[in-house]
Amino acid sequence: MERRNIEQRYAIKFCVKLGESAKEIFDKIVKVFGDEAMSRAQVFRWHKEFKNGREGVEDEPRSGRAVEVRAYNNVQRVRALVRQDRRLTIRMLSDELNINRETVRKILIEDLSMKKLCAKMVPKNLPEEQKHVRMTVAQDCLEQLENDPKLLERVVTGDETRPKKARMSKSKVKTMMICFFDSNGLVHKEFLSPGQTVNQQFYIEVLERLRKRIIRVRPEIANTWILHHDNAPCHRTFSVTQFLTSKNITVLPQPPYSPDMSPCDFFLFPRIKQVVKGTHFDSVKDIQTSVTRVFQELPVNDFQKSYENWKKRRTQCVAA
């Protein structure tokens, strides 16, 4: 058990004896321990335990069989959540699933054999089958470029990300952004409303707005543009595929587990986060204003270089 958890449980027990509420205790725990603070659910649970007369702060012993079942369930829950959003941090997973952070870390590393790469959870070593698919997709793209050297000029790539957290007095307010760009610069961006998730229905609505935006700002490719996005579950649903087909929008495949071959991951998102890193924001609006300014200041030449780099990365993948 982590020493920090023991310290916090003693603190909770002390505050309970003083008659403080669970919310008051949680606010104090966050204020004192910061990023290492227990989740709200854990604080409330221990508050209830101590209020009901519990004295010990250690975890109660569990039978071997029960631990195995619970551990298996936790592994499946972590796996499902990471597949849904590969940019979740260990802390976010811990808070969402109400599992100790150290347990989440061990599940990711030891049970799921994952590590963090380019802000995404991916396998440490791709199996031979996935390596072959990765190389095949890259090779197919290079062959298309040989037949159509101007193909990348029609490709619009996009993805979702969390640019920054705004640290408020009582909580961390998060904002998510989805954006699309081509070799000539930003085409479309939008910030999600609080609580909005990127599911298949919402993504279809975004794609429709993107389609209309391209007609206005890129009329020369309005009928020939090609979409590139990663293999997130909401991107690969039948309804999204059906929508793209109905609008005659071709999709440029993305190799599996290859953020190094996605311009959003190796170019745009790192540039945004590099600028806002270390900056304290008081509100989501301040984050959005700052990110928008970054977009406005990025020269077109940088977007063009990222597309050239994109082609080089695929060439290197095939050569390797």
Q: Check if the beta carbon of residue 212 is closer than 8 Å to that of residue 231.
A: no
**What's the pLDDT at 97?**
84
**What's the pLDDT at 69?**
38
Using the structure block, give the residue that is written with the tokens 């409330």.
44
**What's the pLDDT at 125?**
67
**What's the pLDDT at 164?**
63
**What's the pLDDT at 319?**
87
- Pairwise CA distance, residues 67 & 11, whole Å: 27
**What's the pLDDT at 171?**
41
Q: Check if the beta carbon of residue 249 is closer than 8 Å to that of residue 182.
A: no
List, as one string, the DSSP characters of 16-61: HHTT--HHHHHHHHHHHHGGGPPPHHHHHHHHHHHHTT----SPPP
**What's the pLDDT at 117?**
61
Helix (H, G, I), strand (E, B) or coil at 259: helix
The token pair that represents 177 in the structure block:
């952004």
List, as one string, the DSSP characters of 70-105: HHHHHHHHHHHHHHH-TT--HHHHHHHHT--HHHHH
Task: Profile the chain (320 residues) by mean pLDDT over runs of 10 residues.
Answer: 76 91 90 83 88 82 47 83 79 82 85 68 68 91 93 96 60 77 96 88 96 97 96 92 96 90 94 83 87 93 96 90
**What's the pLDDT at 36?**
81
- Pairwise CA distance, residues 276 & 169, whole Å: 20
